[in-house]
Structure 1
Amino acid sequence: MKLARAFAALVIACLAVLGCIQAVTLEVKEGNSTCIKAELSASFSITYNTSSSTRTVQVPLPDSATVDSGSSSCGTDDSSPWLVAAFGPGHALRLSFATDGSQYSVATLALQYNLSDSSYFPDANSSEVVTVVSTSVGIWATINTTYRCMSPTTFRVDGATVTFSAMRLEAYMPGNDLSPTESVCMADKASTTAPTTTAATTTTAAPSPAPPGTPERGTYSVNNGNGTVCLLAQMGLQFNISYVSKSQNKTVQDLVNLTPNLTSSSGSCEASRATLVLTQEQTTTLSFTFTLNSTTSRYHLSGIALLANWSDMTAPFSVSNIGLDYLRSTLGRSYMCNAEQTLVVEPTLSLNTFRLQVQPFGVTTNQFATAEECQMDQDQMLIPIIVGAALAGLVLIVLIAYLIGRKRSHAGYQTI
């Protein structure tokens, strides 16, 4: 038994360290049609408890992995498509997908592992089947294109990590083969940037650009088919973005303000979905997607996408996330937050908002409805109230002390 465990550990180490994990091809079908296809290599770093300590093991996705037809699905109007790759005694890699009509993304990444499998988890103090989930993955592509990422990319999933490499993937497929048109991940774009060689010269480093300051507040709206306003928004917007700089030949992080007088707005309004698209000088397209839950009459910002092609970028920058949960409010009311907020989209992009008010549903008379304020605004309003109450209490204490002292001083005099 010990020899078998040692051999299994040696094989796993070889696969993880030497990179000899073979690519696996997985397909989800509905009848004779393929809706999801993936060609990828994957390995999992999992930490588990033994009776005396914790251990971390590297588990590869073996080439014997197969699609679990009972759990995998092409999806319906009420359910998401799922790709479930099963391997070993109770292990599985699960990917669910979502789309906004123009792009698709991995909405959920889940890893299931069985601690009773002693070949992977020797001396584990539990035999349970563990499932860990992440809903912020960053794998997305344009509809009818193949997502391609040859570079190793690691995602943290609770107490484990999942590393993909040599990945080609497509969901919502119109045909049975991967599209020849590819959406390339940022890691591959950065790795193909050719370094430049220059003669050694004495140069003076350029000064760092000054911070852009607080962005100007813009007013944006979307009209429905009959010309009336169906979405209203007022906000200052600032990009916190990482991209490969052409002038510096490296990845830089930059703060860039959106300029309202150079920005136009468009979009669409549907019963349960509304979209605001902001376009600045044909170089920046920023879209917000809002979703309404008709059961709870609550809406939220569910998706943000940015396509930028700035002069200093080595390649167009494209990021999208349709699994967000920001700016929650009630149907018939607007959402307001005067304080600065940070909306994280992906590791390479976040948005800073200033003096924001938005209403994507139930707009009447071209005006915002009563606002529901964010927690930060409520906290900021509470601080002066607390300070004022404390000062009032202090004044009251001083006044009471003065009156008591004055009364005692009068009591010390006797009439002659």
Structure 2
Amino acid sequence: MKLSHSLAVLIIAWFAVIGRIQAVTLEVNEGNSTCIKAELSASFSITYNTSNSTRTAQFSLPDSATVDTGSSSCGTDNSSPWLVALFGPGHTLGLSFSTNGSLYNVANLTLQYNLSDTSIFPDANSSDVVTVVSSSVGIWATINTTYRCVSPTTFSVGGATVTFSDMRLEAYMPGNDLSPTESVCTADKGSPTAPPTTASTTTTPAPPPTPPGTPERGTYSVNNSNGTVCLLARMGLQLNFSYFSLSQNKTVQELVNLSPNETSVSGSCEASSASLVLIQEQTTTLNLTFTLNSTSNKYRLSAITLLANWSDMTVPFRASNDSLDYLRSTLGRSYMCNAEQTLTVVPTFSLNTFRVQVQPFEVTTNQFATAEECQMDQTQMLIPIIVGAALAGLVLIVLIAYLIGRKRSHAGYQTI
């Protein structure tokens, strides 16, 4: 009995040591400030060639890993922030970050491994240092929040895989410690479970979702550095996109209205560009970017980005297009369109707009300038005019025909 107890204690202690080896804290500093901090466990699986076969090396990021201060940085106007962990003889794990002002994400995941390390790659037929890179790995969070993902998450990087677990990470940090507010990954939110069924239970297909109807019209504004309004928008917005549903185990098409009361607003204004960022319930972020052509004095909606991270999604949904040409108008005027419009972004995502009026440049006294109406509104106004003119013309033709016919009937009789 005592032996069994001692063995159990030994096993628990051994696993605790293993856990301690895999848990790593990494920080990138600039002066006395911390800009990137990560607490994570990472394991690697790499297939390599030997003289007569292939093998797979599996190893973990050791707790002796350190930040490579020469490669890591907080970023500048011309370069991205980088966190590079150095371990063993020439192995590195790197994360580069980007932001749109409201969200940050891991833009690139880089793994460098040294095949001459015989402790990890015995009998390798090469001594090369191999670098593999993966972009858009799906790690993103709202600015000033900590990305948290306790569940193991595996990413393919070239011919290798990297699995993160117990991950807490933040970039573009305002302070020196991780934010207590967290953006939780989809894997940690869990998936809905179906109710148990028995042989006698009959099931009927779920009814199709009820369309959300016309979205509520919201008023959104962005202030510049001196506190005055630089972008003004009033519109109803509806998201139309498809994603793979965990609960239904298939790809579904979703229509979602943005609710002004549940949406936070941010953005920025520059001389030739302005952005409006709308975040609903910390799970859905819509970014609209307007650009100004200083030669023609015309502006347009040139880019739309949608990020959605719902518990029913297998992976976060991301769609972006920066070569659009919508909501075009003249500098010093606002754009207005009462008709419903569908702004196609990518094949899996379009944005429906309702009763839009927007002005991203030269807003004065917090009011819209004189509006330029969209072609659809002008066409809708012309239709009743054309129909009315056609009816008037028809009445005139009938009247003329009647008068001519009456005159001819009188000409057929003579007076006695």
**Do they fold alike, i.e. is TM over 0.5?**
yes
Give the stretch that moved more between structures: 250-259 or 32-41.
Answer: 250-259
User: Any conservation in 1 of the 2:237–2:258 contact (CA below 8 Å)?
Assistant: no
User: Any conservation in 2 of the 1:149–1:165 contact (CA below 8 Å)?
Assistant: yes
Are 1:342 and 2:344 matched, yes or no?
A: no
| Counterparts in 2 of 1:277 and 1:262: CA distance versus 1, 3 Å | closer
Instruction: Let me know the Cα RMSD of the aligned residues.
Output: 5.2
Are 1:55 and 2:55 matched, yes or no?
A: yes
Aligned letter for 2:241? F
Give the secondary-structure state (helix, strand or coil) at the position aligned to 1:188: helix
Quick one: distance in 2 between partners of 1:203 and 1:256? 29
- What residue number does 1:150 align with? 150
Deviations 1:54-96 (A, max 9, x none): 3222121111110000111111222211110001111100011
| Counterparts in 2 of 1:327 and 1:145: CA distance versus 1, 3 Å | closer
Give the secondary-structure state (helix, strand or coil) at the position aligned to 2:190: helix
Once the two structures are TM-superposed, the CA of residue 19 in structure 1 deviates from its matched residue by: 7.1
Are 1:168 and 2:168 matched, yes or no?
A: yes
- What residue number does 2:298 align with? none
Give the stretch that moved more between structures: 104-113 or 269-278.
Answer: 269-278
Give the secondary-structure state (helix, strand or coil) at the position aligned to 1:187: helix
Work out which of the two has the higher radius of gyration on C-alpha atoms and give 1 or 2: 2
- What residue number does 1:328 align with? 323
| Counterparts in 2 of 1:142 and 1:293: CA distance versus 1, 3 Å | same
- What residue number does 2:286 align with? 287
- What residue number does 2:241 align with? 239
- What residue number does 2:275 align with? 274
User: Any conservation in 2 of the 1:37–1:178 contact (CA below 8 Å)?
Assistant: yes
- What residue number does 2:43 align with? 43
Quick one: distance in 2 between partners of 1:58 and 1:293? 52
User: Any conservation in 2 of the 1:263–1:278 contact (CA below 8 Å)?
Assistant: no
Quick one: distance in 2 between partners of 1:143 and 1:251? 32
- What residue number does 2:253 align with? 255
In structure 2, list runs of 5 or more residues that go unmatched.
1-13, 294-300, 330-341, 362-369, 375-416
- What residue number does 1:5 align with? none
User: Any conservation in 2 of the 1:222–1:276 contact (CA below 8 Å)?
Assistant: no
| Counterparts in 2 of 1:332 and 1:54: CA distance versus 1, 3 Å | farther
Give the secondary-structure state (helix, strand or coil) at the position aligned to 1:173: coil
Quick one: distance in 2 between partners of 1:189 and 1:286? 18
Give the secondary-structure state (helix, strand or coil) at the position aligned to 1:35: strand
User: Any conservation in 1 of the 2:153–2:164 contact (CA below 8 Å)?
Assistant: yes
| Counterparts in 2 of 1:305 and 1:118: CA distance versus 1, 3 Å | same
In structure 1, list runs of 5 or more residues that go unmatched.
1-13, 344-350, 370-416
- The 5 Å alignment of 1:181-200 reads 181-190=181-190
Aligned letter for 1:326? N
User: Any conservation in 2 of the 1:242–1:252 contact (CA below 8 Å)?
Assistant: yes
- What residue number does 1:76 align with? 76
Aligned letter for 1:40? L
User: Any conservation in 1 of the 2:239–2:255 contact (CA below 8 Å)?
Assistant: yes
Aligned letter for 2:97? F
- What residue number does 1:347 align with? none
Structure 2 length-normalised TM: 0.59
- What residue number does 2:11 align with? none
| Counterparts in 2 of 1:165 and 1:40: CA distance versus 1, 3 Å | same
Give the secondary-structure state (helix, strand or coil) at the position aligned to 1:154: strand
Deviations 1:289-319 (A, max 9, x none): 549799xxxx9747422377xxxx79x9995
Aligned letter for 2:100? D
| Counterparts in 2 of 1:159 and 1:31: CA distance versus 1, 3 Å | same
Aligned letter for 2:307? A
- What residue number does 1:204 align with? 202
Aligned letter for 1:274? S
User: Any conservation in 2 of the 1:212–1:255 contact (CA below 8 Å)?
Assistant: no
Quick one: distance in 2 between partners of 1:130 and 1:360? 51
